[in-house]
Amino acid sequence: MNERTIALVTGANKGIGYEIAAGLGALGWSVGVGARDDLRRKAAVEKLRAAGVDAFGVPLDVTDDASATAAARLTEDRAGRLDVLVNNAAIAGGAPQEPTRVDPDTIRTVVETNVIGVIRVTNAMLPLLRRSASPGIVNMSSSVGSLTRQSGTAAESATGPVAVAYAPSKTFLNAVTLQYARELSGTNILINAGCPGYVATDLNGFRGVRTPEQGAAIAVTLATLPDDGPTGRFFEDAGVVPW
Ligand SMILES: NC(=O)c1ccc[n+]([C@@H]2O[C@H](COP(=O)([O-])OP(=O)(O)OC[C@H]3O[C@@H](n4cnc5c(N)ncnc54)[C@H](OP(=O)(O)O)[C@@H]3O)[C@@H](O)[C@H]2O)c1
């Protein structure tokens, strides 16, 4: 068994995921860099190692059952267990996403990655998480999935653009997070959703206003919760996000 805390971050080759890997690596953790593209994964692992991170590459396409199974096997061979899984990989889905104009295939594709992908990877990794003394799962969500904020209630105005695939995929992910928290309530596994804020990445054509490092902070916070920390909650840097 590896003495270091072991984390796996999906979609860690760029953007917020890369910075989550860097942030957890800076804590001295061993970090699996989950990425579907060989070249992008190798480049990220090399960059993280150059920065002193104990990083290892994990080939992982979250839409592929066999890939998730192989990623779990690789993580087991490398570390024997998993302490923290960060489900970060996601897609925006492109345009149009007005409800009246959307191609149903856009919705299927986004849900396959942003929701089913999280379930697929989580379930593949759960046997390894159950071997940890302090297991945790962090689902990277978005406040655009908050129905409260979408509807402009609670003294908040509607958030994000109209996007009938992406925004509801995060609402769905939040609901899935709660379902896991309920099923796992008798275990030591904490599972929470986090929103990174509006971050300049490929996902939004770099229109976001925060840096990927700032966006990664909430994931690092949720990955390092104490054993008696919250579960089944949705957080951003400023605190709890309404569902
Ligand atoms: N940026 C924001 O303002 C913002 C706001 C709220 C929430 N978020 C959330 O934060 C997370 C990270 O987003 P980001 O802004 O960093 O986006 P990004 O720069 O586009 O990075 C997305 C990552 O997900 C990976 N990915 C996509 N589909 C995948 C698949 N099928 N299998 C494996 N990896 C896959 C991408 O890999 P490739 O390089 O191979 O495509 C990439 O590494 C997402 O969950 C996003 O919804 C972002």
Residue 176: pLDDT band with limits 50, 70, 90: very high
Residue 137: pLDDT band with limits 50, 70, 90: very high
pLDDT > 90: percent of the chain = 94
Please confirm, yes or no, whether 166 is among the known catalytic residues: yes
Residue whose entry in the numeric block shows the structure tokens 């970060």: 88
Centre of ligand 1 to C-alpha 128, Å, is 24
For residue 175, pLDDT over 70 is answered with yes
Ligand 1 atom at shortest distance from the alpha carbon of 113: 31
Q: What integer pLDDT is reported at residue 226 of this predicted model? A: 98
CB 170 within 8 A of CB 149: no
| Nearest partner of 123 among 71, 59, 195, judged by Cα | 71
Q: For atom 29 of ligand 1, which residue has the closest CA?
A: 89
Average pLDDT for residues 189-203, to the nearest whole number? 98
Ligand 1 atom at shortest distance from the alpha carbon of 14: 43
Summary mean pLDDT of the chain: 96
Using one digit for the tens of pLDDT, what is the confidence trace for 46-62? Answer: 999 999 999 999 999 99
Q: What integer pLDDT is reported at residue 152 of this predicted model? A: 76
Q: Annotate 32-66 with DSSP letters as a single string.
A: EEEES-HHHHHHHHHHHHHTT-EEEEEE--TT-HH
Using one digit for the tens of pLDDT, what is the confidence trace for 177-194? Answer: 999 999 999 999 999 999
Q: What integer pLDDT is reported at residue 209 of this predicted model? A: 96
Element of type H or E holding 87: strand 84-87
**Mutational test site, ligand 1, from 110, 203, 236, 237, max ligand atoms within 8 Å of CB:** 203
For residue 158, pLDDT over 90 is answered with no
Stretch among 10-14, 38-42, 151-155, 159-163 having the lowest mean pLDDT: 151-155
Centre of ligand 1 to C-alpha 186, Å, is 31
Q: Choose between 151 and 230: higher pLDDT.
A: 230
Average pLDDT for residues 27-35, to the nearest whole number? 98
Average pLDDT for residues 16-28, to the nearest whole number? 98
Average pLDDT for residues 203-226, to the nearest whole number? 97
For residue 229, pLDDT over 90 is answered with yes
Residue 131: pLDDT band with limits 50, 70, 90: very high
| Side chain identity at residue 181, one-letter code | A
Pocket of ligand 1 (CB under 6 A): 10-11, 13-17, 35-37, 40, 60-63, 88-91, 113, 140, 142, 195-196, 198-199, 201-204, 208
Centre of ligand 1 to C-alpha 199, Å, is 11
For residue 100, pLDDT over 60 is answered with yes
